[in-house]
Amino acid sequence: MYSEIWLDPRLAFKHLNVCATNITLKSDFRTKIWNPDTCIINSKESSIHSSPSENSFIIVYENGLVWSNFRLKVKAPCHMDLKMFPFDSIQCELVLESYSFNVDEVKLQWHDIPITMMEKVELPDFDLIGWSTDHQELQYPNGNWQRAIVKFTFARRYGFYLFQSYFPTSLTVISSWVGFFFDVRSVSARITLGVSSLLALTFQFGNVLRHLPRVSYIKCLDVWMIFSVIFIFCTLVELAIVCQLNRWERERQIGSKVLGHWLNQIRKTRKSDAKLQQMLL
């Protein structure tokens, strides 16, 4: 609901001594009286609800005070900083300005209670955590125009991303650690587990990125995914190191056996030579 209140002494009717203290008029009467011609200059799209007729009215009070009210739907831009995604917040701003009249003719002021929430606002992905109002005066070639600004702050609901991203990737990383308990000789099983975990993590990461806007900076979720990939990659590196150390150990054992066999042969040869020398003497 959007309301505007202004004073137009020309519409005062108190001096007529009528019984009514205010008069309610249809919305089409708005074009027949003076109005501040306020618009939301940063809106992408806006429309007045009509169910079944246009949801708007104008009330004129006996002292010339005019109250204009209508149910408005607005599509406006929001500032998004995804560095902390999905634990981020966004700020949506509406900028009100008189389209036709500068500050010499129209000065915009917020009411003492500028915004009233009819009920708790709940969105599928966000929670409204606060709002603020402000004023701004802008200079144009034809004079200064005054702006009334309202900012809404929304916090993202991260439960979906915990269950769809963080929890599955955590299980994927933990499952890759199972290979540490395999026998050293089970090389195929350990490689299969590590590569499968890496492919599953890559698929999960790509599935999340498809639903996000493309930005040139790293997000919190990106850091989580990168470290998850590093952990799984480290398991493959650990596998390669363990296999190499195991091969060196086997080669050392084989070399020790061969060397021991040669030493035994040398000892036997020396004993045979010693016996032969004794017999000759």
The predicted-structure confidence for 42-67, as pLDDT tens digits, reads as follows: 988 888 888 777 888 888 998 889 99
User: What region, left, alpha or beta, does residue 211 occupy, with left being phi > 0 and alpha being psi -120 to 50 degrees?
Assistant: alpha
Give me the pLDDT at residue 281, please. Answer: 57
Residue labelled with tokens 């202004």: 6
- Is the domain of 146 the same as that of 54? no
pLDDT(279) > 80: no
Class of residue 115 by CB neighbours under 10 A (exposed 0-12, middle 13-18, buried 19+)? exposed
- Is the domain of 176 the same as that of 271? yes
Q: Which of 125, 157, 189 finishes a domain?
A: 157
pLDDT(113) > 90: no
Class of residue 145 by CB neighbours under 10 A (exposed 0-12, middle 13-18, buried 19+)? buried
- Is the domain of 33 the same as that of 57? yes
- Is the domain of 90 the same as that of 60? no
The CB density around residue 242, as the number of other CB atoms within 10 Å, is: 15
Q: Which of 157, 187, 221 finishes a domain?
A: 157
C-alpha–C-alpha distance, residues 238 and 232, integer Å: 10
- Is the domain of 124 the same as that of 44? no
CATH of the domain at 152: 2.70.170.10
DSSP 3-state assignment of 271? helix
- Start-to-end CA distance of the chain, whole Å, equals 126
CATH of the domain at 187: 1.20.58.390
The DSSP code for 210 is: T
Express each pLDDT in 130-169 by its tens digit: 889 998 888 888 888 999 999 999 999 988 888 888 888 8
Domain that residue 246 falls in: 159-276
Express each pLDDT in 2-15 by its tens digit: 888 999 888 888 88
- Is the domain of 167 the same as that of 263? yes
pLDDT(261) > 70: no
Whether residue 85 lies inside any domain: the answer is yes
Q: Which two tokens stand for residue 234?
A: 């480290």
Q: Which of 53, 76, 99 finishes a domain?
A: 76
- Is the domain of 176 the same as that of 268? yes
- Is the domain of 186 the same as that of 228? yes
Residue labelled with tokens 């004129």: 60
| Residue 1 and residue 118 in contact, taking contact as beta carbons nearer than 8 Å | yes
- Is the domain of 66 the same as that of 114? no
For the range 135-143, what are the long-range contacts, defined as Cβ-Cβ under 8 Å and sequence gap of 24 or more? 135/108, 135/109, 135/110, 137/103, 138/97, 140/102, 142/102, 143/102, 143/103, 143/104
Whether residue 281 lies inside any domain: the answer is no
Give me the pLDDT at residue 272, please. Answer: 63
Whether residue 202 lies inside any domain: the answer is yes
| Residue 122 and residue 51 in contact, taking contact as beta carbons nearer than 8 Å | no
Report the number of distinct structural domains present in the chain: 3
Q: Which two tokens stand for residue 75?
A: 């599509």
DSSP 3-state assignment of 176? helix
The CB density around residue 221, as the number of other CB atoms within 10 Å, is: 22
- Is the domain of 130 the same as that of 115? yes
pLDDT(280) > 70: no
C-alpha–C-alpha distance, residues 121 and 209, integer Å: 28
- Is the domain of 267 the same as that of 164? yes
Report the alpha-carbon angle 23-58-16, nearest 5.
25
Give me the pLDDT at residue 191, please. Answer: 80
Give me the pLDDT at residue 96, please. Answer: 92
Q: What is the mean pLDDT of residues 204-232?
A: 84
Single-letter amino acid code for the residue at 118: M
Residues with Cβ within 8 Å of 156's Cβ and at least 6 positions away in sequence, in order, are 85, 86, 87, 88, 89, 90, 125, 126
Give me the pLDDT at residue 97, please. Answer: 92
pLDDT(188) > 90: no
Please give the helix or strand (H or E) that residue 26 lies within, else none: none
- Is the domain of 209 the same as that of 245? yes
